[in-house]
Structure 1
Amino acid sequence: MLYCRGLFTMQLKTSEFQCLFTEGLNGLADIFQKNNFELRIAGGAVRDLLSGKRPDDVDFATTATPDEMKSMFQAAGIRMINNKGEKHGTITARIYNENFEVTTLRVDVQTDGRHAEVEFTTDWQQDAERRDLTINSMFLGLDGTLYDYFKGYEDLKNHKVRFVGSAEQRIQEDYLRILRYFRFYGRVALHPDEHEPGTLTAIKENGHGLAGIAGERIWVELKKLVVGNHAGPLLELIYKLGLAQYIGFPIDVDLKEMQRVWENSRHFSPKPMTVLAALFHSSDEVEKMDLRLKVSREEKSLALFLVKYRYELHKNNEQPDSIKPFTDFIIDSRELDTQMKVCELLKYQGEERLLKELCQWSIPRFPISGHDLRKMGVTSGKDIGATLQKLRDIWKKSHYQMDKDELLSYIKS
């Protein structure tokens, strides 16, 4: 272990790290080495590796400029894709059917709370300084050397989430970092209430800046936050700090209900909207949320479903221990995603046994069609519809066991 200029280094030789070295990564490393440019793993992948996890995505940083990278890759016959990131310093190379995103070291020249104008640099510490949290500001050399300028490894071991340098300055560079702080707190911290007071003060005083952040960017962070650890207490803290009004959440909410739903659903891998639905009193509040966050059609549909049926289906269930009212509802709806929605409803209510039963249930096929009725002499469209519904009700009462001949016998009689 070595300290110099505030830099902490150590050697990482874990199996998770060694598994990264595919034919593609070895090829990428050779190109940079031959051209005398440094290449290191950056950001979240370093954090994951130090936590004993194999990262899903690996980003790389380099001292080479985008033009220098393009020249290297072209000379090596390497195809480059997704050139949209080039203006931000990122080049994506495809080697042995793998994509590698490599970004030039950068320093912020000017920020407005949403975007940053950058210049390229060859100073690794300058690049680390512009990152949000200490645990995300580390680099890992391809020889296993960790480069940690701001005690990120120490914070990770101690389950601490801190901004790099001044929390206020980091937040004012990009106000979305407020939500990133909460998301990573849920991922790293052991307890829900061990925030540094100065960090919460900086967040409260700068929370208004979230109003200028695009809803899509906010939703990306919120989706991960609400299904992570400590989501209930973190959502409550977001309200206590006065942030809800800036991110599309209703102001007048029942935080105890939200906590109840989170406790009910947290062990069942709920969808983000299942937890958030507890914040909405009406469909109008869901619509307002959607205007701000621009969630997907499926996410909005789930929120509207939960707000409408979270009490109604249970209220109409005359047999509390039976799954049948829920399966009947799914069959009557005839929509492809209704079973998923009802499963989320059962998570919302914490109905573990019914949830398990419903997840194992396969939607049976109603054995009668209009063609079958026409063959029986029922020709009027109105009569066909009414007869199908009667037969469907009979079929449901049989617990979906009656076959075609048994059902058609009702027409004959």
Structure 2
Amino acid sequence: MMVLFQRFLIRQYIFRSVSFVNPIVNYNLKPRLIPEIMKLEHSQYSFIFSPQLTTVLNIFDKYKYEVRLCGGAVRDILLGKTPTDLDFATTATPDEMVEILEKENIRLVNKGGLKHGTVTSHVDGVNFEITTLRIDVVTDGRHADVEFTKDWKLDAGRRDLTVNSMFLGMDGTVYDYFNGYEDLKKRQIRFVGDAKQRISEDYLRILRYFRFYGRLASAPDLHDEYILESIREKGSGLKQISGERIWSELSKILEGTFGPELMKTILNLGLGSYIGLPEQPNVDEFDNIINRSKGLKLNPITMLIAFLKDSQDMIEFNNRLKFRVFDRDLGLFLIESRHEKWTLDRVKKYKIKIIQNPTKQDALKTYIAQLLMYNNERIILEEFKQWTPLKFPITGNIIKNHGVTGKKVGLIMRKLIEYWADDDFKTNVDELISLIPKAEIELSKDFR
């Protein structure tokens, strides 16, 4: 009788735009027998329909397999945003997808995803990933052995957060089994089902929680206490997550809204050592840097090095998170330079260094700009942003033509750039050439 009553209620409403039928509000987040349903106007999602996608969808429709948009793309559409990625789910198994797509002469790429249920079709230069509905059978805290299913709510039930668990049918119908849209409207970030269970299945979900909280929440401290308790209890599981994956999530957290506040919450929950930070990070320095740099766009590394006391801390941090070279070197540069006093001579020194390293100019400019932000040198920062490195008028061949050979060519050039900078970059070519002997003499003294 209850099911019949639910169906009766649903029939009483005309679904337009983002209007809802909510016959049962289930705050225990157990899947409904009937999902909460709404229907979008075609104009709200029509941009997803390229000719290439239509070709693929027509094939699935021809063979009677349902396809729905899933995950973050649905969330973004409901927020009025254009998704960066379109992920699709289907009732067809991988073998069935391969069979129908090959029968219709659709090229398949990246077949390594088949064992996970994902088939990637390629139509006129565009790839579409379509994944079979799945349930997790065995999980190890990061990866899962899955079985395929045709039950949409079971697939929704294996996803991490309620706001990421919705599906969008190609007719505009949104299928919501876990109050995802209600949470989205309230800017609440909650796990699907029990937080401890979801986290135990994949410990990276701890950081994904904070990333989406920063993206969607309306204030930095509106966390559900049970979720925080679950994260504290399960946090040690982050030890088994690769550094690269942790850094991918952590950098997005710091770049998002409430990044510094969420970082403090992560530390307060005892997670710092699991993500590579020292046992006793310098929280006071972090607070000072964040407070005095408001309005400046700090790089995530620039924020994090405030927790570190020296270069050895940065090396150990890098050993855990496996930074790309740019981030690692930025961190080391900031730690080694952050306590120097800013003077006109120091600014000139960095400008000389940039000119002396033409292949690294962009990186060096970023490093120096971040150092100025870290030290809250706003006036110098604005002048530095406006400064364009001049091209040094002397080439290596010119120096060689004046009797200099081997490694000395580069060393002489660096000396000439220093002379050029001392003259406010005004010395002409002839004058610079005349300074080559002086540079050679100084170099000989340096090597004594």
> TM-score, structure 1 length as denominator?
0.91
Please state how far the C-alpha of 1:324 moved relative to its aligned partner. 3.7
CA gap 1:325/1:33 in 2 versus in 1, 3 angstroms: same
Q: Which residue of 1 aligns with 2:352?
A: 328
| Structure 2 match to 1:227 | 255
Contact 1:7 1:149 in 2 (8 A): yes
1:48-197 to 2 correspondences below 5 Å:
48-197=76-225
Deviations 1:258-307 (A, max 9, x none): 23334555744443222222222112111212222222222211111111
Alignment of 1:208-357 (within 5 A): 208-263=236-291, 267-312=295-340, 315=341, 317-319=342-344, 324-332=348-356, 336=360, 337-357=363-383
Contact kept, 8 Å, 2:356 with 2:414, in 1: the verdict is no
TM-score by length of 2: 0.84
Q: Which moved more, 1:265-274 or 1:208-217?
A: 265-274
Structure 2 distance, partners of 1:386, 1:82, is 50
2:387 is equivalent to residue 368 of structure 1: no
Secondary structure of 1:60's aligned partner:
strand
- Match of 1:19, SS state, is helix
Confirm or deny: 8 A CA contact 1:16 1:53 kept in the other structure.
Answer: no
2:426 equivalent in structure 1: 401
Q: Deviations over 1:97-129 (max 9, x none)?
A: 111000000111121212111111111111111
Is contact 2:282-2:309 (8 Å) kept?
no
Shift of 1:186: 0.5
Note if contact 1:265-1:275 (Cα within 8 Å) is conserved in structure 2. Answer: no
Cα pair distance change 1:208/1:380, threshold 3 Å = closer
Measure how far apart 1:13 and its partner are: 2.6
User: What is the total number of aligned residue pairs between the two structures?
Assistant: 408
Structure 1 residue 368: Cα displacement: 2.2
Q: Which amino acid aligns with 1:13?
A: E
Determine which structure has more spread, i.e. the larger CA radius of gyration.
Answer: 2
Q: How big is each residue's C-alpha offset from its partner over 1:163-214, in whole Å with a ceiling of 9 and x where there is no partner?
A: 1111111111111111111111100111111101111011101111111222
**Kept after mapping to 2: 8 A contact 1:136/1:152:** yes
Change over 3 Å in CA distance of 1:407–1:360 after alignment to 2: same
CA RMSD of aligned residues (A): 2.5
Kindly state the Cα deviation for residue 52 of structure 1 after the two structures are TM-superposed.
1.1
Q: Residues 120 and 127 of structure 2 are in contact (CA less than 8 Å); yes or no, is this contact kept in structure 1?
A: yes
Answer whether contact 1:23 1:96 (CA < 8 A) is retained.
Answer: no
Q: Which moved more, 1:191-200 or 1:207-216?
A: 207-216
CA distance in 2, matches of 1:386, 1:43: 56
Q: 1:72 to 1:402 in 2, by over 3 A?
A: same
Q: What percentage of residue pairs aligned between the two structures are identical?
A: 45
Distance 1:319 1:164 in 2: 56
Q: Describe the superposition over 1:215-234 as per-residue Cα deviations: whole angstroms up to 9, x where unpaired.
A: 22212211211111111111
Paired amino acid for 1:407: L
Gap regions ≥5 residues in structure 1: none
The one-letter code sitting in structure 2 at the alignment partner of 1:395 is W
* Counterpart code for 1:399: D
